[in-house]
Structure 1
Amino acid sequence: MTRDPDDRLVAASLGLPEATGSRRMDWAAMPREVTARIERLLGSPVAHAISQRGGFSEGLAARVLLGNGKGAFIKAASSVTAPAVADFHRREIAVSQRLPREVPAPRLLDAYDDGTWVVLAFEEIVGHLPAQPWQRDELDRVLAAVTDMAEVLTPSPMNEAVLSKPRLGGWLAMADDAAVRGRVEKLSPWAANHFDRLAALEENASLDGATLLHGDLYPFNIMLSGDRVFVVDWPHAWIGPRHCDVVTLVSSASLSGVDPRPIAENHPLTRDLDPARINEMLALHAGFLLRTAAAAGPAADPDIVAMMTALGLASLRWLRNTQP
C-alpha cells in the first residue's frame, strides 16, 4: 500500500501538543518594586504566590493569596525583556476594561503600566482547563457558551481602535517568500499541491461582520468552573463575522479526533452559513499559523512552534476533507 504523503492531515488524531510555553517568570524573580506596586493595587500584601507554568507568553502568570484572605490572578511583562508580550498586555487591558459583564471572562480588578512593566490583576477563577482529548460534554458546554458570547458581543461593544488586527492569512505573503513557503510545503504536500487555491481563498475571503471575537479561542484559553465556562486572554480580540471563533475552536478539537463537520453543520453560528465562508476561515487560520511557525527563528519557543504547527495542520485537514 502506498502511504499518503499527507498522512499528518488524514490521521485519526494528531493530538494537541502537551507542552506549552517554557519561558514563564516566577513570582520570586519579580523586582520588589513591581510586587510592592501589585500589593498596593490589591490593597493587601501577598501572603503566598503560585507561579503558573502553562500558557505561552513570556512574563509572569501567578495566582496570589492576599493577607486579607482574597485571591487574584496576576499577569505581568517587561517591555525590556518581553516587548511583544507587554504590548499584548496593554491591549488586553484596553479590551478587558470594555467587556460587558455578561461576557464569560474574568473581571479585571486593576492594572498599571509604568512604561516598562505592564501588570494586570484579574479576579481568580477556581477551575480547570478542558480535558484533552476533549470530553464531549465539556466541548458541548463550551460550544454553547460561544453561542451565548456571540449574542452578547454583537454588535461589538468597543471600537476597532483599541483592538488588534485579525491574526489571519499567510498564503499570499508566502508567494513571495520561497524559503518559508518551502518549509510549509514540506509540512503539507497537500498544501503544496493546492497553494494557488489556498491563496485564492485568502484573497477573496470576507471578514465583514459586527461581532467582537476572541481571536485566540483554543482549549488553553478556556476555564471550566462548576457549571460555568470562562474565556480568558483577550489581547487578540477583533471585530468580524460571528462564526470565526467557533470555526477556530472546532478546528482545534479535531486534534482530539473529533470530526468538525457535523458540529459545524448543526451549530447555531455555522449551520446556515455558506460552506465557502468556513473554507475561507480555515485557509486564513492555517495560513497565519503555518507561516508564523515556518518563519520562526532558532530563538523561538519550540513549544509554541509545535502548537501553531499542529493547529494549522488541523485546519488544513478540515479544509482538505471539504474538497472534491
Structure 2
Amino acid sequence: MEEASVRPGWETLPRAVRLWVQEQAGTQVLEARTTAGGLTSGVATLASMADGQRLFIKAAREDDDTAELCRAEARAASALPVAVPAPRLRRHAEMDGWTVLVFDAVDGRHPSLAPSSLDLPVVLSTVAGLSDLLTPCPLQQAPAVGDDLAADFTGWQHIASTPPSDLDPWAQRHLEQLVELEQQSLLALDGSTMLHTDLRADNLLVSGDQAWIVDWSWAVRGAAWLDAAFLLPQLVLAGHTAASAETAMRAIPAWREADSTAITAFAAGLTGLWEAGSRNPTSPSALRAYRRRAAAAGRAWLRHRNPVWGGRRALTGRWR
C-alpha cells in the first residue's frame, strides 16, 4: 500500500478559523473527518454541516510549504470554467497564521485505475474533454510548463554526476542516453492549454459515470497532451503494462495527435525527476516512497518506447 502523509485534523485549526468556516457556511459543523491519502501535510477535512451541506476544507500554516500550494490551488480553482468537473471554491482566506480554502464537497470515491476497472473509461473520458474546456488557458498567471519543470527535469544529470551503487541496472547501462533525452524533454511542451499535471487516483473522484478532478495546485500552461502523459505512469503503477497503458491513452484525442519523440523525451524527464527525488533525504518519507515506485513505472514506460537516437530507432537489445 502506498504511504501517505499524516494530516492534522480539523481541531488543529485555531478557533477563529473554525468559526470563520462556519460563518461562511451559515451553520455549524456536525462532523469533521480527515481525508486519507495525499502527499502533503496540510489539513484536509470533509465537513458535514448542520443544514446538510458538505464542505471540503484545506488549510496550511503560513510558514509551511503547503501554504503556497494552497494559494496556487485557490488561483487555479477560481479560474476554472464552470464546465470543468472540479469542486467549486467557495472561499479563500489568510487568517491567524493559516491559509484556508473552502470547497463544495464532491460525493465520490477515488477510482481504481487497474486494467479491469470500470472506473478507467470514466476517468479517460473526463481527461479527454479537458483540452477543449481549458484552451485557451483561463488562468492568466499560469506559468509555462517548460519554465515550471526546468529545474526538476535534471534528475538524470544529477544522478550521472555521481551514480549511486543501487541504481537500477537498466538505467545504469543507459544513463548517457537518458541524460541526452532529458536535455531534450522541455523542447516540445509549449502550448496554450491549462494543465493539471498531477493526475493520480487520489486527485480524482468518481461517482457513477462522472469523474471529478481535484487539487489544481500545480496548474500550468502547455501542450494539450501533457495531462495524459502525466497520467500514463499511474496506470502502470495500478498494474497495467506500459503497452496497455499507452493503448488506454489513445482514448484521449490530444494524446493521439502528440509527437512520439516529444512523449519519449518527456517520459525521460519525468522519470529522472522521480528517480532523483526518491533519493532526496530532505523529502518526507511518504513522498520518497511514492517516487521510488513512480520511477520504476517510468523506467518500464521508457523501455517500452524504444527511443530514437540520432534519427534511428535503437536496437531492441540495446534498450531492454
TM-score after normalising by structure 2? 0.86
Correspondence for 2:270: 285
1:240 aligns with 2:222: yes
1:87 aligns with 2:68: yes
Q: How many correspondences in the alignment?
A: 301
Q: Is the CA contact 2:46–2:105 (under 8 Å) kept in the aligned structure 1?
A: yes
Q: Give the distance between the partners of 2:66 and 2:235, measured in 1 at CA.
A: 26
1:123 aligns with 2:104: yes
Q: 1:302 aligns with which of 285, 292, 295?
A: 285
Q: Is the CA contact 2:193–2:221 (under 8 Å) kept in the aligned structure 1?
A: yes
**What's the secondary structure of 1:282's corresponding residue?**
helix
1:160 aligns with 2:145: no
**What's the secondary structure of 2:148's corresponding residue?**
coil
Correspondence for 1:106: 87
1:268 aligns with 2:253: yes
**What's the secondary structure of 1:270's corresponding residue?**
helix
Calculate the aligned-residue CA RMSD, in Å. 2.3
**What's the secondary structure of 2:58's corresponding residue?**
strand
Correspondence for 2:2: 18
1:251 aligns with 2:233: yes
Give the C-alpha shift of residue 172 in structure 1: 3.5
Q: Is the CA contact 1:214–1:234 (under 8 Å) kept in the aligned structure 2?
A: yes
TM-score after normalising by structure 1? 0.85
Q: 2:172 aligns with which of 181, 186, 192?
A: 192
Correspondence for 1:7: none
1:204 aligns with 2:184: yes
Change in CA separation of 1:72 and 1:176 when aligned onto 2, cut-off 3 Å: closer
- The amino acid across from 1:188 in the alignment is D
- Superposed CA offset, 1:245-282 (max 9, x none): 11121221012232223234554222233211110121
Q: Give the distance between the partners of 1:229 and 1:270, measured in 2 at CA.
A: 19
Q: Give the distance between the partners of 1:197 and 1:115, measured in 2 at CA.
A: 51
Q: Is the CA contact 1:251–1:315 (under 8 Å) kept in the aligned structure 2?
A: yes
Correspondence for 1:10: none
Change in CA separation of 1:177 and 1:275 when aligned onto 2, cut-off 3 Å: closer
Q: 1:143 aligns with which of 84, 106, 124?
A: 124
Q: Is the CA contact 1:168–1:285 (under 8 Å) kept in the aligned structure 2?
A: no
**What's the secondary structure of 2:90's corresponding residue?**
strand
Q: Is the CA contact 2:61–2:98 (under 8 Å) kept in the aligned structure 1?
A: yes
Q: Give the distance between the partners of 1:319 and 1:182, measured in 2 at CA.
A: 19
**What's the secondary structure of 1:75's corresponding residue?**
strand
| Runs (5+) with no aligned partner, structure 1 | 1-16
**What's the secondary structure of 1:223's corresponding residue?**
strand
- Superposed CA offset, 1:168-196 (max 9, x none): 775635535668x534x724222222222
Q: Give the distance between the partners of 2:22 and 2:99, measured in 1 at CA.
A: 14
Change in CA separation of 1:56 and 1:173 when aligned onto 2, cut-off 3 Å: closer
- The amino acid across from 1:249 in the alignment is L
- The amino acid across from 2:132 in the alignment is E
Q: Percent identity?
A: 29
Correspondence for 1:59: 42
Q: Give the distance between the partners of 1:48 and 1:143, measured in 2 at CA.
A: 33
Correspondence for 2:196: 214
- The amino acid across from 1:310 in the alignment is R
Change in CA separation of 1:270 and 1:161 when aligned onto 2, cut-off 3 Å: closer
Change in CA separation of 1:304 and 1:121 when aligned onto 2, cut-off 3 Å: same
Q: Give the distance between the partners of 2:251 and 2:52, measured in 1 at CA.
A: 45
After superposing the two structures, state which structure 1 stretch, 139-148 or 284-293, moved more.
Answer: 284-293
Correspondence for 1:322: 305
Change in CA separation of 1:287 and 1:170 when aligned onto 2, cut-off 3 Å: farther
- The amino acid across from 2:174 in the alignment is H
Q: Give the distance between the partners of 2:237 and 2:191, measured in 1 at CA.
A: 28
Give the C-alpha shift of residue 33 in structure 1: 1.8
Change in CA separation of 1:97 and 1:319 when aligned onto 2, cut-off 3 Å: same
Give the C-alpha shift of residue 66 in structure 1: 1.6
Give the C-alpha shift of residue 34 in structure 1: 1.7
Which is bigger in relative contact order (C-alpha 8 A, separation at least 6)?
A: 1
Change in CA separation of 1:115 and 1:212 when aligned onto 2, cut-off 3 Å: farther
